[in-house]
Amino acid sequence: MLLNWGGISISRDEVILYAEENGIATLTLNRPEALNALNKAVLEQLSVHLDNIKRNTDVKAVILTGSGDKAFSAGADIQYLNRATPLEVRDLAMLAVKVTNQIESLGKIVIAAINGFALGGGLELAESCALRIAVNEARLGHPEVRIGAVAGFGGTTRLPRLIGKGRAAELLLTGKALSAEEAYHFGLVNRIVAAESLLSEANELLQEILSHSPLAVNLTWEAIHRGGNLTLEESALLGADYFGLIASTEDFREGTKAFLEKTKPAFKGK
């Protein structure tokens, strides 16, 4: 069965739905009957879409969300994990790590629009995004220890960097799930919105970001992403290098000139 989304015909059998409008691509995890649980097919299709988006100059930013009104993603498919061999489990984790790295290093801002449960591997996908917006009803957490597992899709790495080692340790070691309000206070989500305005809020935030120089935006995100893996001094020096690099662009000259003249800059991404 086919449905039409933004002028694009998409099969309901697809586990990732793709739509594109006004330079923003929306990727939707599409296994609502399984709370958008992550299996090999989901991760492989997501990886292909991310590769295509990286090459597509028409796409300036991305929204990642889930199908239905219950879950962004409830995490890795536990039915599969229960019957898989250790090497198959490791292969799935390696694929997930590849996908989260693709999201983080896409060269374009990705927002996770969390429409419900974001647990385990689902939360790890969201953690690799630049920003996270959640509905009031969302629940976020890492329940892996409760089933005798480890957050192996990047959670033990990214969560401490997002909210601090102590708070991350509490969540990872207890398996506790946070309400959207708690996640906001922990710094895990940037905004809480009503369910009916989730995608419009994500689009509005991206349009605000995209109104600035795309070169400055992408270099800023790259400095944040890459700088997190460096010492404080190395990270600061990276920022200084990028500041010098951006000064070679037309956008830098346009922006500084517009500031001095008190006019609105017309950025060209050059």
Measured torsion, CA atoms of residues 236, 185, 202, 62, in degrees rounded to the nearest 10? 50
Give me the phi and psi of 6, to 5 degrees please. Answer: 60, 35
Tokens of residue 188, six digits: 């895990």
Can you name the residues that pair with 4 across neighbouring β-strands?
9
**Please, what is the Cα angle at 153 between 205 and 49, to 5 degrees?**
55
Q: Which two tokens stand for residue 66?
A: 């889930």
Q: Please give the Cα distance from 110 to 219 (Å, whole number).
A: 14
- 20 catalytic? Reply is no
124 is catalytic: yes
Marked catalytic residue, from 124, 204, 208, 222:
124
SS3 of the chain: helix, strand, coil, percent, to 5: 50, 20, 30
Q: Which residues pair with 45 in a beta bridge?
A: none
End-to-end CA distance of the chain: 43
Considering the candidates 20, 104, 127, 144, report the single residue annotated as catalytic: 144
> Which are the catalytic amino acids?
124, 144
